[in-house]
Amino acid sequence: MGDRLETRLLQLSAPEAAGLVRGGQRGVERECLRITPDGRLAQTPHPRALGSALTNTWITTDYSEALLEFVTPPQSWNWQTIQFLCDIHQFTMERIGDELLWPLSMPCRIKSDAEVPIAYYGTSNIGRMKTIYRRGLGNRYGSIMQAISGVHYNYSLPDDFWPLYRELERDKAGLQDFRSAAYLSAVRNVRRLDWLLLYLFGASPALCKSFVQGRESGLDELDSATLYGPWATSLRMSDLGYRNDAQANLVVSANSLDEYVRDLSAATRLPRAEYARIGVKVDGEYRQLNANQLQIENEFYSTIRPKRVIEPGERPTAALRRGGVQYIELRALDISPSDPVGLNQRQLRFLEVFLIYCLLLDSPPIAIAEQECIDRNHGLVARRGREPGLQLLRGAGSVSLQTWGIAICKEMVAVARLLDPDGKQGHVEAVRHHARAIEDPSQTPSAALIAELRDRQQSLANYGLDLARCTREYFLSLGTDLNQHREALVAEARESLLRQAQIEAGDVLDFDEYLTRYLA
């Protein structure tokens, strides 16, 4: 264990500091596709019974009309997060007729981009901008790729933690600047170590042949309809998914908040010739918001983002300039097919420990050479993470994934004890449980999925459809009395439709002027 990590753990376990690291706030964003009873992507509009996708706080859409996104509010306890997510799922299942929710990260049975309906948010300026942004994503990367689903984990430490931690660090910076710098320190370490999350939680080692559409994938054939990587963990996070060539050369530094904002802002202003060839507004119809490297900041895909809640009409980089980093968003997680809501409490406990570990661990600036090593490790583990003896780059040499992963988890146990001193909250157990999968790759979700497909002799599409049917039956069997948030969900669906109507009625600018002002 590094000297600074050990010192910080000792300081934070002292009586006057004990407990301040606890009480963090967490939230989850879970994406999932609506599908027809026969496993095709739903072509129906976003159900009105779920409210407005533009303004509903908890139920919205991502790229497609069919790609639901469930958002839990910040909660103090993991069980509250899972309960809220479960209630959203049950509420939704009761309101989508005979449609199902696809339980895997990689989509299936989509023949072409044309089968992926782009999300519609109404006639307001902000609604039109959101739809055009998604049209741009489709034109740049393809719509099928945008139908990939995942889970995002949002986390912030308690406000009371920061003054004490600044004092322990003997830092003279203002509290906002200190907090932002500390979160950026965590962001850098997550970038260095995100391969561990792909290994432990990757659950997309296989995909339907329709997803690659005849492209060379480097995958093996599992059956006539399914391709897989024999040692893959997360094809979603590989070069076949979000790690695509279009953003391969885009470097957004996390060495400071100023550098992060500078690089991200610059990418939204830098023209790109291949996007210019698509056209922006052609024959009166927008094909994308602009022809720059990124249309807006959200187009940058990273496994971890420093975030702040934005005000109406505010850009993410402007929010960070205004108030600093408020929380961090972890985006590296595949949907867990073995959990009806896509993840579980044990996973949430591990992620909390992991993020605090990344915060407390020394985090020097990331130079270009190290970033290349980080990218290589990420790609290796996504494609070959369970390969026996796999070597990762570390410093000037290499180390086996198992050796490095076990060492990380041993240090994480000490962090878990800060959150779980009596062992009753499950944080220590969560770290030890997942550490066993490092020693035995057959215990990973990716290995379990391949084993199940083979045992059942099913294609990925048929397996996912069976699982979707079981999930539907599970939620519909729970009974309405178990839904603790039913009244709030009903009210939010109703009121969100009214809020959308108010926004549409309140627009005073024509869209071209609105877009010009926003992008400026």
Structure tokens at 90: 């049950």
- The residue type at 6: E
Neighbours of 275 (CB within 10 A): 21
Residues 6+ apart with CB under 8 A from 273: none
Task: Identify the burial level of 132 via C-beta atoms within 10 angstroms of its C-beta, where 0-12 means exposed, 13-18 middle and 19 or more buried.
Answer: buried
Residues 6+ apart with CB under 8 A from 23: 76, 158, 160
Tokens 């056209």 -> residue:
279
Of 58, 381, 54, 428, give the one whose Cα is nearest residue 205: 381
Structure tokens at 146: 């945008």
Q: Which tens digit of pLDDT belongs to each residue from 416-467? A: 999 998 888 899 999 999 999 999 999 999 999 999 999 999 999 999 999 9
Distance between CA atoms of residues 320 and 326, nearest Å: 8
Q: Would you call 477 helix, strand, or coil by DSSP?
A: coil
Sign of the CA dihedral with 35 first, then 36, 38, and 41 last:
negative
pTM of the model: 0.96
Distance between CA atoms of residues 241 and 244, nearest Å: 6
CA angle 272, 274, 277 (to 5 degrees): 110
Residue 27 gets which letter from DSSP? E
Looking at residue 214, what is its pLDDT? Answer: 75
The helix (run of H) or strand (run of E) holding residue 26 is strand 25-35
Q: Which tens digit of pLDDT belongs to each residue from 343-376? A: 999 999 999 999 999 999 999 999 999 999 999 9
Task: Identify the burial level of 504 via C-beta atoms within 10 angstroms of its C-beta, where 0-12 means exposed, 13-18 middle and 19 or more buried.
Answer: middle
Q: Would you call 176 helix, strand, or coil by DSSP?
A: helix
Residue 341 gets which letter from DSSP? T
CA 270 to chain centroid: 26
Phi, psi of 260 (to 5 degrees): -60, -50
Within the chain, which residues score under 70 in pLDDT? 1-2, 244-246
Tell me how far apart the terminal alpha carbons of the chain are, to the nearest angstrom: 47
Task: Identify the burial level of 169 via C-beta atoms within 10 angstroms of its C-beta, where 0-12 means exposed, 13-18 middle and 19 or more buried.
Answer: middle
The helix (run of H) or strand (run of E) holding residue 30 is strand 25-35
Looking at residue 16, what is its pLDDT? Answer: 79
Looking at residue 125, what is its pLDDT? Answer: 97
CA 428 to chain centroid: 24
Contact 155, 355 (CB under 8 A): yes
Distance between CA atoms of residues 177 and 169, nearest Å: 14
Which is it for strands 285-286 and 100-101: parallel, antiparallel or unpaired?
unpaired
Residue 88 gets which letter from DSSP? H
Looking at residue 245, what is its pLDDT? Answer: 67
